Amino acid sequence: MPTIFTRIINGEIPGTFVWRDDRCVAFMSINPLAFGHALVVPIEEVDHWVDLSAELAGHLFAVSHLIGLAQRNAFRCDKVGLIIAGYEVAHAHIHLIPTNDMSELSFANAASSVDRAQLEASAEAIRQNLPSPPSLLSS
């Protein structure tokens, strides 16, 4: 059975995307720890990040770097936190969270829901601060 992330990637469930290429996507978290919280997810369903090929892991981190730079510029935060936990969904993913304090990286702070307009606004702010490769999505 496909993971919820695969269903988002395939368009079966709505997602607010900021990046798509042939190996991964990035979309906004629906339970964000902070405004601008994004997930970088491989298209291939791999449960644990240590089981990713070295090439795919490198690609995910390269994309995470670009998105993190865009988040830092868009949200004027002190740091962009990066978390790989892997317990929420059995599909490897990287959390990228604009922060101004370490306490903002606690999953206890996750929003139970978020307004669609807020997701779109944060996604647009990230997209506006990314380089413009053909893989970039407008929504």
Mind telling me the catalytic residues?
A: 93
**108 phi/psi in degrees, rounded to 5:** -65, -20
The residues pairing with 19 across neighbouring beta strands, listed in sequence order, are: 26
**18 phi/psi in degrees, rounded to 5:** -120, -10
> What is the three-class DSSP state of 27?
strand
